[in-house]
Structure 1
């Protein structure tokens, strides 16, 4: 029996995201900065899309910040710290297009999937990156803003919400401000809002992957990353049941080899694996 290869949490998440993408799809991610937020919001999505291109989805299109298309991430020596950083400008890619996001029209539904990050997620999948506090005129904390999240959650085919932290402050009964719409009232509720497609597909955290019972509009535990994460309830501000949840599927040795040798040979995206 072949032993399961050693892997990091970032590699585990990357591989499972990559497996969920299909050939010929178009994926969009912005450039998030700052520690764990950058890892979950930009680096893991980029590594996952590149891994998919090198395995089962060679014609998947990566849109980085909307204007760098199918970049060669293996050449990175440092992550760019803004969407128009010189590092990103000089990154080898198939195309640079300044007509955001180029030949793909968001309103026409050309983007198959995208990635968001937020400070709060609630049990119907609404996300919040605008403020914390019920008084919107005098919030406790003012955040970065909606940053295209309304479009991501309404016009893209599906959305992966990447949450770098998992605790009761982040996973709440009801978000303080809706910057991206989930499934309030389920699919029928989205239809009442004029939203005929899209919505969150997964919410990915350091502890688990959530998916949704979309007809009812209810978040649920898809998998947990380790047995230590089975006590998910103590870290979540609404009811969850992880007792019978399966473990997040493990990477294969081949996937890890491609990820480490071809996608991220310098450990710029996912960090050193040893």
Structure 2
């Protein structure tokens, strides 16, 4: 067994638990979109786990799910990756075998037509109604920190069917009462509030962190605790957000089955490139 190999009997990592739970939420025939995030934990949460989850869903129950990587590589052969690409037009991604490459717009799937069923994004701040900030920390006119910018987040949160917000860090500074800048719109005023803004489609579905998964009461527009990962606690989560949190009875994030782990480790990510086992 190589250094990065694991048997299905080895305890799953948090990355594997999250990946399996994401995969279970996708449906056959859907189209999923993820960009190419770089840099440590951000890349793991923003790109690698989404890719592994979509590929796992294809292997389990959704053979006709379509993966759009960076918007132009369709159903890439992730098993052939030796390293993750470090940009959306990196030679590694350009040369990655795939079913097709879309090099003109609009192609078979177009964002503005509403062809994307779900997508993945990230941010530095998420607030109590699911707004996401990727622009700045502090007053926009004189910010403490300037961030990467909107990077298609407005489209992700309004034109995609649903959005999975992947947060690589879970600290009080990340989960705030109100974001400093709204890059992506959540549920201010609930679904009715979105409708008043002219938004009749999409919005955040889950917010995924190393500690838990949040979802939303979309009617009233409030974030909820859906499940707590193994090794985390409710008190730990409560210490690391700055808003009121509602939950009925948050469950423990469901564990993968032996079959799911076997598929993930030996079919989806046999080289350990995606989920950090290498």
TM-score range, shorter chain: over 0.9
- Give the match's secondary structure for 2:233: helix
Following TM superposition, by how much is the alpha carbon of 1:239 offset from its aligned partner in structure 2, in angstroms? 2.2
Q: Name the counterpart of 1:209.
A: 213
User: Partners of 1:49 and 1:100 in 2: how far apart?
Assistant: 24
User: Partners of 1:58 and 1:101 in 2: how far apart?
Assistant: 25
Aligned pair partner of 1:79 in 71, 84, 92: 84
1:52-201 aligned at under 5 Å gives the runs 52-100=57-105, 102-133=107-138, 135-201=139-205
Q: Name the counterpart of 2:233.
A: 229
Q: Name the counterpart of 1:14.
A: 19
Structure 2 unaligned runs (5+)?
A: 1-7
Residue 79 of structure 1 contacts residue 268 of structure 1 at CA under 8 Å; is this kept in 2?
yes
- Give the match's secondary structure for 1:16: helix
Q: Name the counterpart of 1:266.
A: 271
- CA deviation string 1:125-148 (max 9, x = no partner): 000000000x21210000000000
Deviates more, 1:56-65 or 1:218-227: 218-227
Residue 223 of structure 2 contacts residue 246 of structure 2 at CA under 8 Å; is this kept in 1?
no
Residue 208 of structure 1 contacts residue 223 of structure 1 at CA under 8 Å; is this kept in 2?
yes
User: Partners of 2:10 and 2:20 in 1: how far apart?
Assistant: 13
- Give the match's secondary structure for 1:235: coil
Q: Which has the higher contact order (CA 8 A, sep 6+)?
A: 2
Residue 233 of structure 1 contacts residue 241 of structure 1 at CA under 8 Å; is this kept in 2?
no
User: Partners of 1:101 and 1:247 in 2: how far apart?
Assistant: 42
State the aligned residue count.
270
Change beyond 3 A, Cα 1:86–1:167: same
Superposition CA RMSD, Å:
1.5
- CA deviation string 1:205-250 (max 9, x = no partner): 0000000000000000000002532211101111225693110011
Q: Name the counterpart of 1:250.
A: 255
Change beyond 3 A, Cα 1:246–1:184: same
- CA deviation string 1:68-127 (max 9, x = no partner): 000010110000000000000010100011125631121211100000100000000000
Moved over 4 A (4+): none
User: Partners of 2:106 and 2:172 in 1: how far apart?
Assistant: 36
User: Partners of 1:243 and 1:153 in 2: how far apart?
Assistant: 26
Q: Name the counterpart of 2:37.
A: 32
- Give the match's secondary structure for 1:69: strand
Q: Name the counterpart of 2:3.
A: none
User: Partners of 2:259 and 2:148 in 1: how far apart?
Assistant: 39
User: Partners of 1:227 and 1:90 in 2: how far apart?
Assistant: 39
- Give the match's secondary structure for 2:192: helix
Residue 20 of structure 2 contacts residue 53 of structure 2 at CA under 8 Å; is this kept in 1?
yes
- CA deviation string 1:147-185 (max 9, x = no partner): 000000001000000000001000000000000000000
